[in-house]
Chains A and B, each alone.
Chain A
């Protein structure tokens, strides 16, 4: 009888521990870590990066728009998979104030590949050349894709790490940021 009770307690503890680990895994996928610079509900850190044509683009110049900051690279298949979704979202919601911005994290020597990929895929939004310092401002981009959804005031509405389940999930986040 005592042995049975002990087994039940051990089993219960293990279930609770595993449930906790699973919850943390799900939480980490969608939420920024405490103390990061770009955290949900906080203003997105300001930056100025150059686009593929060499023109500087400041985040503050997009104030008043809902901005999607998509960190990506050409060596990242899930990133390339979701780019057509962002192209479609820019077409669909651009008139309502959406501005998608790609922040490319390829090495500087690979920018021709980046430009070629963007052209081949009909990218209709600016691609900026990423810098490690900016990645650090956004909490350190440990993996790609990582996408930040900003509201019209420049506040972080959501950070999403990894590829979403589909275009619908991207659209849901964009509509939320647009207040639709």
Chain B
């Protein structure tokens, strides 16, 4: 690559930084969740891959200051499907300039929240849609933005259990010995 092209590429790479500086809004995107297939009485793991857009951070689920708003999930599961044991990741400690060494505990970039999906033994077979939302309050290094809620959804398919048929016993089988 010619030097001039390298410089041009470097400048283009800096464009997102300028976009942030000009006041783009903070956001969390939730990656599409593949259909979760689970049997009655069984359980499967829900994995939510989230990303805070560049230049911003959000409070972790356990911010150090009780007045700060934690990032939380709300999940509205249909009757017969329980979503429990939501696990938020550990946040990263962050000390911003001019903050007198006050530590914040935040998520920035990508982070993953997991939960258990457990259909009841009596739930009907089929696919149900689960609606959820992530509530967060974002800041950059100088300013904070009002709390926001971003909705997401995913499907849970309650499948019939796969029955593995046992091989038939054959009296004539040479492998069966009295």
Contact = CB atoms under 8 A, between A and B. Distances in A.
Contacts of B25: 142
A114 B57 CA distance: 23
Interface residues of B, number: 33
Q: Is the interface of B mostly helix, strand, loop or mixed?
A: loop
A18 interface: yes
A144 B68 CA distance: 14
Interface of A: 7-8, 10-11, 14-15, 18, 21-22, 24-25, 28, 73-81, 105, 113, 117, 142-145, 161-163, 165-166
B98 A81 contact: yes
A40 to B, nearest CB: 18
A75 B137 contact: yes
Contact of A21 (B2, B18, B67): B18
A81 B102 contact: yes
B144 A25 contact: no
A77 B96 CA distance: 10
Contact of A14 (B8, B67, B68): B8
A162 B98 contact: no
Q: Is the interface of A mostly helix, strand, loop or mixed?
A: helix
A14 B65 CA distance: 44
Interface of B: 2, 4-5, 7-8, 11-12, 14-15, 18-19, 21-23, 25, 65, 67-69, 96, 98-100, 102, 104, 137, 139, 142-147
Contacts of A15: 11
Nearest to A161: B143
Given A75-B68, A77-B96, A21 B22 contact: yes
A163 B143 contact: yes
A18 B18 contact: yes
A11 B68 contact: no
A11 B139 contact: no
